[in-house]
Structure 1
Amino acid sequence: MIYVFHAALAAMAFLVTLNGFLKGAKKAQIDAILGAMVVGLLVVGFVAFGWMMGAVALILAFVYAGISRPLAAAAAARLLSSASGSPSGRYRGLPDPVLGRISRSLGRQRSPEQALDDLLHGGSSQRIDARSDLLDYCVAKPGILEVMQSFDLDRSDLEDLYFALMAVGAGQWAGGHWVAASALAYPDSLRFVAKKMGRGQAADRDETLRAVYALVMHFERGAPLAES
């Protein structure tokens, strides 16, 4: 019985995590239903197996969700790609722990006033530190340095690209990635951004918006980045 209970709890944790990566008009309702089902399972655990096993189940629910996150992200990418009929590709996977930590700092929810302050004045000291960490992370990667050399970019150019991405809508989560950060943190996506938005490129807003959309689809669904 206990094994069935934990199998059900793990399955529900996976579904909750999966729904977090999905989109749709009914996402909030589905999330509420799944959350209620998880709470119901935990109540059953406390009643059927005692408070100690119930407490263990509560902790394990978070563990199951964490363990299933990479699988849920990949499954969501495949589902979203199939549902939309978008070009197939390979989902990149979640960012590594260092980039993930930086992205969480950069992607914390903020008010419109704070977002404007980020663009005009650089934002809070924590966000400034997070951007500095992002740039340190990028320039420490040989593949990124190679792209930077190809496009004659320096560290300040990367920061300018980050601000440019934020200004046109890349400050959003997609497939577990903070798009404005991850766009600079991988050689292929940085090459794409440099070609579309780097120095000397025409500031065509429609083209820039299409580039941001392509980045979102890439990190969310694995859609290939067309550089032409």
Structure 2
Amino acid sequence: MIGLYSMLIAATLAARTNDYLRGTKSVQNGFFIRLLIVGCFIAPLTMGQWKPALLMVGVWLAVVRPLAGILGPRVAIWLLRMGSQGPFESWVGRPPSQLRRIYRAIEGLGGVPGQDIQTAMGNAEKKSALKSAAIDYALRRPEIHAVMQRFGADRQTLQSLFGELIACGIGGMRTGHYLPEAIAQYPRPLTFLLSWNADRSKMRQLDVAMAIIGYFDRGETLPTLEKEVAGVG
């Protein structure tokens, strides 16, 4: 059973780490890793050991899965940093539980091949409402409100900037955060974006998008813009 528990722990950590990675290979890996986890639960049952099987499920739910949820994104960040020059700052961390629910709901409304027009339009409306809810969550926080005030920005400013970033390729889940809406949740990337918007001669739009992706993917340090130092600090 020790070997089975070790395999279950390793597979669960691998699954949670894989959830924060991207690409077709990540999806394929996730499928096989989850099959392995299910196999760990089934193995004791094939030997008639249903009590150890139930105990294993309980330990997995109470201990292994929560710990993997904490460690998984950090392992993913470490893997994503490999081959990158940096410099790095502390990773922003996992979003709060309320935001995670919103992000998962948005991700679940992604385009599905073969959808009829009515369903696609309904999902688009739901997605828009969820994105607005994410911005609402940010604007209720005093530190975010303070950054917005310093730059004279409002919700319309954010939505306009987010539209520009989406056109540059930002969009979707990145290490547990849904971009570009996640930018509004943290003073550092929000300050960076609004600083650039105040003086666009400092960086190209595409470079801004890539810097934000690096910040959320790998914890890369965002460039400091002149306006940011003078107006926000």
Alpha carbons of structure 1 residues 207 and 107: separation in structure 2 relative to 1, 3 Å: farther
Q: Which residue of 2 aligns with 1:143?
A: 143
The 3-state SS of whatever aligns with 1:111 is: coil
**Shift, 1:158, TM fit:** 2.1
**Shift, 1:57, TM fit:** 3.6
- Alignment deviations for residues 166-225 of structure 1 (CA, whole Å, 9 cap, x no partner): 2322212211111211111111111111123x36746x9x82222111111111111111
CA distance in 2, matches of 1:135, 1:25: 29
Q: Which residue of 1 aligns with 2:170?
A: 170
Moved more, 67-76 or 37-46: 37-46
1:213 corresponds, among 199, 210, 213, to 210
Scaled by the length of structure 2, the TM-score of the pair is 0.77
Q: Which amino acid aligns with 1:87?
A: P
Scaled by the length of structure 1, the TM-score of the pair is 0.79
**Shift, 1:59, TM fit:** 6.3
- Alignment deviations for residues 66-125 of structure 1 (CA, whole Å, 9 cap, x no partner): 431221101211222133333222111111112222222333352289xxx9xxx99633
Q: Which amino acid aligns with 2:34?
A: G
- Retained in 1: the 8 A contact 2:109–2:127? no
CA distance in 1, matches of 2:223, 2:122: 31
The reply on whether 1:39 has 2:43 as its aligned counterpart is no
Alpha carbons of structure 1 residues 209 and 158: separation in structure 2 relative to 1, 3 Å: same
- Alignment deviations for residues 111-166 of structure 1 (CA, whole Å, 9 cap, x no partner): 289xxx9xxx9963322321221222121111111111111111222222333332
Q: Which amino acid aligns with 1:207?
A: R
- Unpaired stretches in structure 1, ≥5 consecutive residues: none
Q: Which amino acid aligns with 1:225?
A: L
Moved segments of 4+, more than 4 Å: 23-26, 58-63
Alpha carbons of structure 1 residues 134 and 32: separation in structure 2 relative to 1, 3 Å: closer
CA RMSD of aligned residues (A): 3.2
The 3-state SS of whatever aligns with 2:170 is: coil
CA distance in 1, matches of 2:100, 2:35: 28
**Shift, 1:52, TM fit:** 5.0
- Retained in 2: the 8 A contact 1:176–1:220? no
CA distance in 1, matches of 2:143, 2:33: 41
- Unpaired stretches in structure 2, ≥5 consecutive residues: 226-233
Q: Percent identity?
A: 24
Q: Which residue of 1 aligns with 2:223?
A: 226
